[in-house]
Amino acid sequence: MEESQADKRMDKQDFLERARRFSQPFRIDDGAGFQLKDHDPDDTLHLDKTDKDRAQEALTMGVKMLAEFQDLLYAQDRWALLLIFQAMDAAGKDGTIKHVMSGVNPQGCQVNSFKAPSSVDLDHDFLWRSNNALPERGRIGIFNRSYYEETLVVRVHPEILARQTLPPERLTKNIWKERFRDIRNYEEYLSNNGIVVRKFFLNVSKKEQRKRFLERLDRPEKNWKFSANDIKERAFWEDYMEAYTETIRHTASPHAPWYVVPADNKWFTRIAVAAAIIETLDSLHLQYPEVSPEARAQLATARALLEKE
Ligand code: ATP
Ligand code: MG
């Protein structure tokens, strides 16, 4: 019901324009001079809580449009889309992925959650396990955490780097610079191969994280989400913010931009992320494959056969 009303109100072009308005302010194509402190986790682009219903309506529309784009992506079978989600705990990665992708065909979508690497992972180079999980053409791949942990958690905790058994000659003070360059080159390689990379940092404040942790402790149905380790990592907040700043600074590019999305209001995070994905898919000018004259003739023959039955 709500959808058809919303349909009437906004035509497609209008909606695409709005999607750009909701994603552009958070998009970073060039990381030079990037400062996390310039990005307010509580930003809602002047929408307030009373706009929440309209926001929900817009998200419903967005989810529907995403499903249409995904159908085109799948049918055309040329491009792949890789969406990378990074954030501090309780920033809402899981919920955002769940809500934004709720309308898409599960056959066209692959989600990978990257946890601490296994011993097999550690026997390989740092991009190995991600490379094995890339989306096929025509698909949307989602990385819930990613190779970016290699310049985030690994940088914040040097003991993790020590466990990576790199040859000592390769473990120099340039390691982070080298990893940034490797990631930039890798993402350019992906882009050259038709794998479109978009990266999201869900920017939650320390204060809001505290509130969400307390909620997890207060509400029995949320207890399972709480991990004692989350509190330990919270103690490294400033180090993480520095690591994120450096990472975004050195790895934002026009072909693989970061979106630094305000994450203190879940309803807003979802809209901004949906808008960014829509903006990206729209920019690919996706089309259903053209049917050749021969194939069209075959269709006509098939129809004739069926009609004769
Ligand atoms: P949830 O919302 O369920 O808590 P999560 O993504 O936080 O999701 P966890 O199992 O709690 O999942 O945590 C995964 C952990 O794995 C994180 O602490 C992350 O930093 C760590 N991790 C991921 N990739 C790497 C890596 N390459 N090296 C070291 N640690 C990693
Ligand atoms: Mg966790």
Q: How far apart, in Å, are the Cα atoms of 146 and each of 153, 216, 226? A: 11, 25, 21
pTM over 0.75: yes
Task: Tell me the per-residue pLDDT of 295-307, one tens digit each, with 9 for 90 and over.
Answer: 999 999 999 999 9
Q: What is the pLDDT of residues 197-212, one digit of tens each?
A: 999 999 999 999 999 9
Convert the pLDDT of each residue in 163-197 to its tens digit. Answer: 999 999 999 999 999 999 999 999 999 999 999 99
Mark residue 165 as left, alpha or beta (left: phi above 0; alpha: psi -120 to 50; beta: remaining).
left
The pLDDT value recorded for residue 4 is 61
Domains of the chain, CATH where assigned: 12-308 (3.40.50.300)
pLDDT range class, residue 9, cuts 50, 70, 90: low
Q: Please say if the pLDDT value at position 162 is more than 90.
A: yes
213 lines ligand 1 (CB under 6 A): no
Ligand nearest to the CA of 115: 1
Instruction: Give the pLDDT band (50/70/90) at residue 27.
Output: very high
pLDDT band at 64 (very low <50, low <70, confident <90, very high): very high
Looking at residue 117, its pLDDT comes to 96
Dihedral, CA of residue 188, residue 193, residue 196 and residue 199, to nearest 10: -40
Q: How far apart are CA 36 and CA 260, in angstroms?
A: 9
Ligand 1: residue of 98, 146, 149, 226 to mutate (most ligand atoms within 8 A of CB) is 149
| Residue 227 in contact with ligand 1 by CB distance below 6 A | yes
Would the CB of 115 count as within 6 Å of ligand 1? yes
> 234-269, pLDDT tens digit by residue?
999 999 999 999 999 999 999 999 999 999 999 999
Residue 275 has pLDDT above 60, yes or no: yes
